[in-house]
Structure 1
Amino acid sequence: MSYVDQLLATNEEIKYEAHQHPFVFFSRIVAETIMLTVLLAAAYFITRTQWEGQGWISLGLGVIALVVLGSGVFDFLRWRNEKFLLTDRRVIHLRGIINKSTMDSSLEKINDVQMRQTFFGRMFNYGDLEVQTANENSDNFFGHIRAPLEFKRAMMNAKVEHDRAPNEYLNSASVVAYQQASAPRMTHQEIEEQLLRLTELRQKNLISDTDFDSKKRDILSRM
């Protein structure tokens, strides 16, 4: 089971998943690539000349090159493991390679979502999202997220569905209650006959136990 699966509650579903734009990763890699190129050029120059202590200098350059290369791998893993998740209940910001850090905001507590895009952000489809909640101290900031408009749209749609669900449940419960209240009343003798007939159907395996219990409750509610 992945770490993301462990974060989810029972029956919680992921609606949308996003990462920071690759520019965030590429900008760091470019600087490290330039540094690595300079180190390789310096190492090549040293091997072409005869200096005292040449071996130690080459060793030092090699160690620095390994550090720069390791830094590039670390930057990639950090970018790859930073995720912005939208579920049917909340918004989650997940960071960290080994040590994980999460920050989430419930959909019901989200008041507004502000989006900021620079000129280059509009060109290359990235930007910043700030999720504002009822608690001012728990706002969630998604920096340089890829396709911010799509994520914002998915978030607002999920919030509408989340807020609508309790009302739909109450409406359906009201309909059931109304149907039960408006059903014609039965005498005790009629109820007894209906229950006997229902029991015979179950004994003959003509109806399931679930249907039997449902019909029984319906009959008893009409007393």
Structure 2
Amino acid sequence: MNFSEKLLGQNEHVILHMRTHVREILLNIVATIVLIVIAVLAFVYLPEDWRPASTVAIVAVAVTLTLVILVWPWMNWLTSTYTVTNRRIITRKGVFTKTGHDIPLTRISNVSYERSMLDRMFGCGSLVLQTSASEPLLLDDVPNVEKVHVQLTELIFHSDLSDQDPYNSKATEA
């Protein structure tokens, strides 16, 4: 799902656009595969004289559980995005009720990340954005969190340093 350009301000452009790591719905995928295997085994091993009622019941239960276990979480995952622009960090989520949070890059005072052993195995982690608010903003399951951390650090702190650096050719030309 692409980020709508109409949500950007004048001279604002997207640096990164991502959704949470697929690890978020991995257990749902595995559970759905197990559900399908159980449904097939039930269809094969139930007595012949229980058909066609057992077939209808198995299909109805399997479809309902698939909607609950896989389709709804997948739709939530698909619509949950993190976007970094040259001015702000934008979070959006929700299928029917959309919610979002925008943080100007100028309000962020610290960027850090956390990676558990499981996160390292999947190549993701949590990004922690400290602002003047008491609670930091935690972005969970960010793919390639170390690279995103470096890019955010460059965006937030590099422009401040280049303005103050007397050896920077751009700063001396001003």
TM-score by length of 2: 0.81
Q: For 1:41-190, what aligned pairs fall within 5 Å after superposition?
A: 41-46=41-46, 48-51=47-50, 54-71=51-68, 72-137=70-135, 139-161=136-158, 163=160
CA displacement at 1:14 relative to structure 2: 0.7
Query: How far apart in 2 are the matches of 1:125 and 1:164?
Result: 30
More strand by share: 2
Aligned length: 167
Answer yes or no: is the 8 Å Cα contact 1:105–1:140 preserved in 2: no
Query: How far apart in 2 are the matches of 1:77 and 1:164?
Result: 41
Residue in 2 aligned with 1:36? 36
Instruction: Please tell me the residue identity of whatever aligns with 2:145.
Output: P
Higher relative contact order (CA 8 A, sep 6+): 2
Structure 2: runs of 5 or more not aligned: none
Match of 2:89, SS state, is strand
Match of 1:40, SS state, is helix
CA displacement at 1:3 relative to structure 2: 5.7
Alpha-carbon RMSD: 2.7
Instruction: Please tell me the residue identity of whatever aligns with 2:10.
Output: T
Query: How far apart in 1 are the matches of 2:48 and 2:52?
Result: 12
Query: 1:12-62 CA deviation, whole Å, 9 max, x = no partner?
Result: 11111222222222221101211222122112222x4323xx433332221
Query: How far apart in 1 are the matches of 2:72 and 2:97?
Result: 13
CA displacement at 1:93 relative to structure 2: 1.4
Query: 1:114-173 CA deviation, whole Å, 9 max, x = no partner?
Result: 311112322331111121111124x321111110011111111111255468879xxx9x
Answer yes or no: is the 8 Å Cα contact 1:19–1:80 preserved in 2: yes
Residue in 1 aligned with 2:10? 10
Answer yes or no: is the 8 Å Cα contact 1:117–1:127 preserved in 2: yes
Structure 1: runs of 5 or more not aligned: 177-223
Match of 1:136, SS state, is coil
